[in-house]
Amino acid sequence: MSTYTYREVIEKEQEQLKLRREKLQQEHGTDEQPDWFGIALSGGGIRSATINLGFLKTLNKFGILQKADYLSTVSGGGYTHSYVQATIKEHGDFDRLFTKEHIDAMRQHGEYLTPGQGLWKTLNTLLLAVAFVVSWLMSLISPAIVAGIIYYIYTIIVGFTGNPVAETSGLAMDIEWWSLLIAGGLILLHFVVNIALNFNLGISKQFNKFESAIAVLGLFLYGWILLSGVKTGDRITGSLLMDYGINAVLLFVLGFFTNPNALSFHRYYRKQLADLFLCFSGLYKNMLLKDVFKIDSDKKNGFLAPYPLINTCLNLQNPGGGDKFKGSKASDYFLLSPLYCGSKLTCYVRTDRYVDYRKMTLPAAVTISAAAVNPGLGMYSNKLLSVLMTLFNARLGFWTSNPSVLEKSYAIVWWPVYFFKELLGRIGLSNKMINISDGGHIENLGVYELLRRDCSLIIAVDAGEDKTYTFTDLNNLIIRARNELGLEIRFRPDEQPEDLIRPRPSQVYSKKRYAVADIYRWWEDNKVFNEETQKEESSIVNFKTPKKVGTFVYVKSSVLAPAGKPFLTEAEDRLKYGTYKYKIYHADFPHESTSDQFFDEIQWESYYQLGQYLGADVLGVSDLGAYEDKKGPSLSVDQLLRRFEKGVPLFESPAEARTAPGQDEELFESVKAPEQPVAREVKYQM
């Protein structure tokens, strides 16, 4: 099978995106300067999904969403992404997005893992518990197969040679005692070392090897204890030998069907997400990933939505010291998209050619991107944690074909081997199958792939949990962009996130909810053709003076101080009134824990409205309520570039224009109260 480099992938994508612009009659940029425009939605579970729903709704009111070339998402941002893609596929119209019917249904089912009310909710909660237990028991099939095969082979051998261990029960008891001591000591040692090295950059590679060796020794000791209980009795007869042999063969064959993707919690998670975010997409609810974007489609819905980039993490807990990537903890950016799937380390393959990717559905891809709980956690991987998560089946990650190894479009795999690879943290690049999980395990903003594609304008929503506003995900992106891509994300002097977005203790509220940075290129990795070797080689070009290549708009979930109190009447919608009060009674809003995946209606609405006002801030819309039941003026990408590069306002009328940056009025959000009480809905802009 043919593989492709990431440069070839991007070139093919952008050829089709130019055709999309022509078909949709979108005019911005030139052939020399295409001005690619990308929107990135971060991870953060249901919180991120809800904020991003509101954010995209505001952009859509002003015709911006349909002008985006790329929509790049991670984890919770992917929930919203799937809704946009599938709904547009079904209806073929951006105006059919974010309708009252859709929003009401999603609000009512914010507790998507255990949906329903009253008795139904209780039953669904019970179903969730039962499903987890069943999934856990099924996940033990792989080790049971291995144990069974070893048992039958060992029993056959013992029938001929006897079992010396069974005759010395004292030795068996000693081994059992030492096994327990080693296991307990290993856990204690791991705990103490991690506490002692809490502020260290990492535990040594030698310690990881030692820890793995001790774990393997413990498994062998326990296996010896189990096998030592085999009765020696008479020698095995021919018929019994046949039975044992057949059983061993059947267990071996069964190992080819124990796919962990089917035995883990992935399928339940996928179904719940699809039931919530894809229930409005009709026949497209479970559409194939390869069919999400088709530029040669006769219908406009084949290419109407922005091109999807679904970000996941390729887990390489132990690459084996290969030349491509060394280190005991490693990972790579693994892309799932309609045209190509893969990573820089594995290369890329056509999505419609490989069985694993050809059959992958949109909800499956989004679920993989949101697989936060997994033995492989990218740069956060931990060997002991891998053991525990594997044993308790805390596995939402996904095993898929390795493009760099397979020569055919499918792989024949004996799955029990991969159970032990997860258990012992031996996931690498040399296997037929690779493990991918939550994109947030390597880069949680979804911006990296947009930087690779030389986007002139990137608008990124950071809806991750960050109560102390340390900007961890932003810092991670900046470091990776500079070290791996040669790109510097440089915030302007008056646009520093820590000054504008981070609330001061004495103020509680943020001054602003977004900051603008310029993207500069310091070095470039060019490809040159070597006539002697007849191969392309890398040629790094360093620039003495960095050149500006794009604009980055960083949007952070945060709350501004209100300038006034809205008038409330008895007719006020209880959900809107709840939004008004939510920050008062929930001090962590909008950074409540990501572990809270059970949003009630008030909580859901609060985050949804916050997302709308984040979008309004970015566009400079001061009175979003004026567009409650109508669309705003359609804005172009060129207008957006002028706004963020030169400060040109998008709206000229005084009612719509924001105050110029730097003035005191910019610090607060205007909330207009009516001059006299009237029975109308007034929203509190958080």
Strand ranges inside 248-397, DSSP E: 307-316, 330-336, 340-343, 347-350
* pTM for this model (two decimals): 0.78
Least confident of 150-159, 192-201, 602-611, 624-633: 192-201
Which residues touch 115 (CB under 8 Å, ≥6 apart)?
Answer: 109, 121, 124, 272, 275, 276
> Mean of the per-residue pLDDT values for the chain?
76
φ, ψ of residue 546 to 5 degrees: the values are: -65, 145
Task: Determine the average pLDDT of the residues in 671-686.
Answer: 40
Number of H helices and E strands in the chain, helices first, is 21, 12
- Has residue 671 got a pLDDT over 70? no
Q: What is the pLDDT, as a whole number, of residue 211?
A: 47
Q: What is the pLDDT, as a whole number, of residue 584?
A: 82
Instruction: Please report, rounded to a whole number, the percentage of residues in the chain having pLDDT higher than 70.
Output: 63
Instruction: Please report, rounded to a whole number, the percentage of residues in the chain having pLDDT higher than 90.
Output: 41
More confident residue, 123 or 585: 585
Label residue 36 by pLDDT band (50, 70, 90): very high
Joined together, the tokens standing for residue 25 give 């009659």
Backbone dihedral region for residue 98 (phi beyond 0: left; psi -120 to 50: alpha; all else: beta): left
474-499: burial string, b at 16+ Cβ within 10 Å, e else: bebbbebbbeebbbbbbbeeebebee
Least confident of 71-85, 213-227, 414-428, 618-632: 213-227
Least confident of 443-457, 494-508, 521-535: 521-535
Q: Are 384 and 193 in contact (CB under 8 A)?
A: no
Q: What is the pLDDT, as a whole number, of residue 581?
A: 73
In tens, the pLDDT along 65-103 reads 999 999 999 999 999 999 999 999 999 999 999 999 999
- Has residue 375 got a pLDDT over 80? no
Q: What is the pLDDT, as a whole number, of residue 117?
A: 57
Label residue 124 by pLDDT band (50, 70, 90): low
Q: What is the pLDDT, as a whole number, of residue 340?
A: 97
Least confident of 249-258, 308-317, 329-338, 424-433: 249-258
In tens, the pLDDT along 172-222 reads 455 445 555 555 555 445 444 443 433 233 344 444 445 445 555 555 544
Task: Determine the average pLDDT of the residues in 334-362.
Answer: 94
- Has residue 446 got a pLDDT over 70? yes
